[in-house]
Structure 1
Amino acid sequence: MMLTPEAFRYFLPAFLSASVNSYESVDFFVDVLIGTLTKPSRPDIVESYDYLAQRSPGLPDDMLELLREQQLEYFDSGEQLAQFHERFDSLTVEEGKAVLAFLVALKEYYDKDFPFGELDKAIDRYWSRYFEDCDI
């Protein structure tokens, strides 16, 4: 997440490979990678903080609300969406197909590890464009 778009694209094949070949030992990294591969959405922020409020009774409500507001402000600034497009809009069709194949493979083998439809969101919001002319 802290890499420049160019550096992220450079390392993306290694990230995908490590995620598939060593899933069990890097599953937290895979979660972060899936988040990075998912086109941001304002409702996701609201849903995640609603979920936290219900599942984390020890967190003070005012802290949760402050975090929610900060995340919504960040999303509304357009920076998060711009960063996503900087990372992925310049991928070639073949690179996009590789990311789609990665997501489809994860869905096939590890869908149960993503109970909130994270893989479907990633595919549907951006990567599904590569289904055309794809052998998946």
Structure 2
Amino acid sequence: MQLARRRILPRPKASVTPALDVALKDQSFVYRTGDHLTGSDYQPTTNVYGDVDGRPLYLVGDSMAAQLATPAPAVAKKRGLALKPRSKATVSFVLPAEGPPRRAPVARGGARADRRGQGGATDRPAHGPGHGPHG
């Protein structure tokens, strides 16, 4: 059996914008402004970008969401929105987010106890007229 000869093509010259040394130092503005919380910080900033009197636009989540913040001020300004970035490293965003963080109660067997209203993942929005998925 004869092996087919592979044709070696010249490698195209690639250009990357921005340059790699610049891109490696690039971070979303929320890191510079302190809007992205780290460590034991839990109180979000009150910074607003875009139209401060506009309808609020919240960008919430962890560092993955923070990466989306860079173009958001320009979008908020163009559309008359008040951008309020609220992100924190290494944690999931859970509503309601108020007060200092609390440890979830642990039931026997290591399962989390269902403690509604304690700021945990078990909180559910109230449904009624004008609320919920079907209005």
Q: What range is the shorter-chain TM-score in?
A: under 0.3
Higher-Rg member (1/2): 2
Higher relative contact order (CA 8 A, sep 6+): 1
Q: Which has the higher helix share?
A: 1
